[in-house]
Amino acid sequence: MWADNETQTDLLGFQVHADLIQSIVTDSRLLPITVGVFGDWGSGKSSIIKMLQNSLESENNIACIYFNGWQFEGYDEAKSALIHSILLELGEHKKLDAKIKEKAANLLQRINWLRLFSVGYQTVVAPIITAQIASMTGTFPMAAPVSPPASSDKSPDLADVDLTELLRGNPASQGIVGAREFRSDFKELIAETKLDSLVILIDDLDRCEPSRLVETLEAIKLFLSVANVAFVIGADQRIVRYAIAKRYETGRIEEAESRAAGQLDLVTDYLEKLIQIPYHLPRLSASEIETYISLLFCQLRLGDDFKHVHDAFLASRKEDITQVFRHQEITGALQHHDVKLLDVLASELAWCSSISLTLSDLLKGNPRQTKRLLNALLLRKKLAEAARIELSDQILVKLMILEYLQPELFSQLYQWQSAQEGKPQELEALERGTQSADGQLKDMADKILKSQPGWQTTAVQTWLQMVPSLVNEDLRNYFWITRDRITGILSGVAAIPLHLRNLLADLLDSGDSTILGETEAQIKTLLSDEKLVLFNELTAYARREPGSQNAIGVWIRVAQMLPEYIPKLITVLAEIAPASLNRTTPIWLVRIAQNVPGHKTSVAQLLDKWARESNTLGIAAKDALDDLKRER
């Protein structure tokens, strides 16, 4: 198996990205600068940052400092944590002399002001300045809470007033004074180091809570105009945008529609001012996935001989960055060093070639998710060997991909095959599709697709057609080795990434079931499989809390934004006991019928069913049904 950590062993050809970023952060004409390395969770950001760190440490007149935001999550103040870490690293850096280290240590002792600074300009600085000016001039804007000055023949000239000294005299103002003096002293410190560049690498920022993430970004602003300083920030841009939007959200929900555009502009402006160069990591192509998983298996099987393969891979990348490094190239590299290709490895490399296109499409070219799937595959194969069960790797992987993509559909497939001796007719109907020549299969496929829209999504349709076909395959042994985990193989972490968990929390925390413009924009930009995960989680929550006006309201609002899931919404609502539903549910359903074409009939049928209930839901359903009929 393979460790799920960042690595400096480049199996992805990512050194080219690290080299490009290095050329930017060491170019004196561009400094000071902040580079954002953006990519999805598991896309390889941390590995690139580690490669960059390794390259920079070998440079003579460049100092590199690594800061992991997530590891400092428990620190009492995120801004202090970053500055403390930078100064501590400078004080211990082997490339700096004792005098510089002493100055760094002195600055380190003075960072307590930062906690005061977090009180904010409006609550500390502005009132102090207003009161001090008023006391000198005799004017009291906004009824400043100070006593009038003693009478004097001549008012002091404001041009002669040292505001810094005035602020210094008030203990509550130490933050703003400390920030300004720190910035000045830090500039002097960096200038005295004679470094060509101080590069500060910030990793795992997107794992932090939104408030901590923004605090760290605000701390970076202290250094943005300091000569010869460069920041490289590795993060998922969606999570950063979410954190900024959450931090600077203003006004009430009722103003959401009028504020939406302005809020989006605020988030964009904030990012553009903080990060001068955004660098988006591309998703791996099918050929890159094939190369990656082939190298992973070589690393697993070859021991010390893997170095021959890896060196050949890196050399091939220098010659042609688009070249696929597969079975033939690996065999050639080993033969060059008189090493025979193991039979088990040859079989695995052939399998890598056949599965790479599917993995690239369905896992979105994500290295970490690919590695996790392979780790789960090896565990399952070992279990099958221990139980003396023969399995096809291709079939096992195909089933595991569905288990990862759609745990709910995987559970359903488990039930189908369990009732039909491992060969479910429903799966045959879905594979052959609604165009099947067999009328019975065609009707079955139509019925399944109408009642369960999850089977209609692009990702699942792609899965159904991938090789090998599962028709007439006995699936009982494959499900036997997954019997303890029918709900998912990746502990829910990969199935529900952090940005989706944050989005879910935001939706379910909305007190009156309405959705802010920034949140709605995030939903609309989700990938198709992410939308399905979001909707399934809301569905599960609504099932657990059917009487909650907020839970049902948010669920239905999201369905309006994702109309392909409305049939499932209506099906699930029809399955919930009417007595447990809130009386506002019929009103929400009428909004769907009014705003989304094609659903009036199914909504009317459900309302008619509820209208027969002798409770508050029944009364509300009758009224809603009358409103719907009047519209017709």
The predicted model scores a pTM of 0.63
- Is residue 295 situated within a structural domain? no
pLDDT tens-digit profile of 330-342?
A: 989 898 888 888 8
Residue-level pLDDT at 462:
82
- In contact, 296 and 352? CB cutoff 8 Å: no
Residues 625 and 547 in one domain: yes
Q: Is 324 a member of any domain?
A: no
Same domain, yes or no: 108 and 204: no
Sequence-distant (6+) residues with CB within 8 A of 181 are none
Q: Once rounded to an integer, what is the mean pLDDT over residues 11-30? A: 90
Within a domain: residue 508? yes
In a domain, 491, yes or no: no
- Would 325 be classed as within a structural domain? no
Residue-level pLDDT at 632: 57
Q: Which of 6, 491, 499 is nearest to 206 (CA)?
A: 499
pLDDT > 60? residue 190: yes
CATH number at residue 206: 3.40.50.300
pLDDT of residue 36: 92
For 58-110, write each residue's pLDDT tens digit. 888 888 888 887 766 555 566 677 777 777 777 777 777 778 878 777 777 76
Q: Which of 77, 76, 64, 18 is nearest to 44 (CA)?
A: 18
Q: Residues near 469 by Cβ (< 8 Å), separated by ≥ 6?
A: 431
Give the total residue count for the chain: 632
Residue whose structure tokens are 């195909």: 398
CB within 8 A of 297, min separation 6: which ones?
345, 348, 349, 352
**What do you get for the CA distance between the two ends of the chain, in Å?**
62
Residues 110 and 52 reside in one and the same domain: no
383 in a domain, yes or no? no
Give 221 or 48, the one with higher predicted confidence.
48
What is the reported pLDDT for 129? 35
Average pLDDT over residues 522-535: 78
Encode pLDDT of 225-242 as tens digits. 788 889 999 988 888 888
Q: 67 and 131: one domain?
A: no
**In this predicted structure, what is the pLDDT of residue 179?**
64
Domain annotation covers residue 595: yes
Structural domains counted in the chain: 3
The answer, yes or no, to whether residue 614 has pLDDT greater than 50, is yes
Q: pLDDT tens for residues 380-396?
A: 888 888 888 888 888 88
Q: Are residues 72 and 203 in the same domain?
A: yes
Task: Mark which of 250, 266, 283 sits at the end of a domain.
Answer: 250
184 & 229 share domain: no
Are 506 and 579 within one domain? yes
Q: Find out whether 21 and 35 touch, Cβ atoms under 8 Å.
A: yes
Cα–Cα dist 600/590, whole Å? 8
Pairing of strands 33-38, 62-68: unpaired
Q: Are residues 56 and 106 in the same domain?
A: no
How high is the mean pLDDT of the chain? 76
Please determine, for residue 415, whether its predicted confidence score (pLDDT) is greater than 60.
yes
Quick one: pLDDT at residue 86? Answer: 79
Rounded distance between C-alpha atoms, residue 319 and residue 117, angstroms: 53
Residue 377 confidence (pLDDT) above 70 = yes
Same domain, 121 and 226: no
Residue showing tokens 């602020």: 167
Nearest-angstrom CA–CA distance, 373 and 42 = 13
**96/98 Cα distance (integer angstroms):** 7
Residue 280 domain-assigned (yes or no): no
Report pLDDT for 475. 92
Write down the pLDDT at residue 137: 40
Q: Mean pLDDT over residues 448-475, rounded?
A: 85
Rounded CA separation 167/268 (Å): 34
Q: How far apart are CA 362 and CA 368, in angstroms?
A: 13
User: How would DSSP label each residue in 97-115?
Assistant: -HHHHHHHHHHHTTTTHHH
Q: Regarding predicted confidence, which is higher, 364 or 610?
A: 610
- Among candidate residues 265, 233, 236, 227, the one with its CA nearest the CA of residue 248: 265
44, 163: one domain? no
Same domain, 233 and 168: no
Tell me the per-residue pLDDT of 235-266, one tens digit each, with 9 for 90 and over.
Answer: 888 888 888 877 776 433 334 444 444 455 67
The tens digit of pLDDT for each residue in 111-164 reads 655 554 444 433 443 343 334 434 434 444 443 344 444 444 444 443 443 434
Q: Which amino acid is at 428?
A: E
Confidence of residue 598 (pLDDT cuts 50, 70, 90): confident
Residues 599 and 522 occupy one common structural domain: yes
- Provide the residue range defining the domain that includes 41: 21-77+197-250
Residue 145, strand partner residues: none
pLDDT of residue 24: 93
Distance CA 264, CA 245 (A): 8
Q: Is residue 37's pLDDT more than 60?
A: yes
- Percent of the chain with pLDDT strictly greater than 90: 8
Edge-first strand order for the sheet with 197-203 is 62-68, 197-203, 229-235, 33-38, 277-280
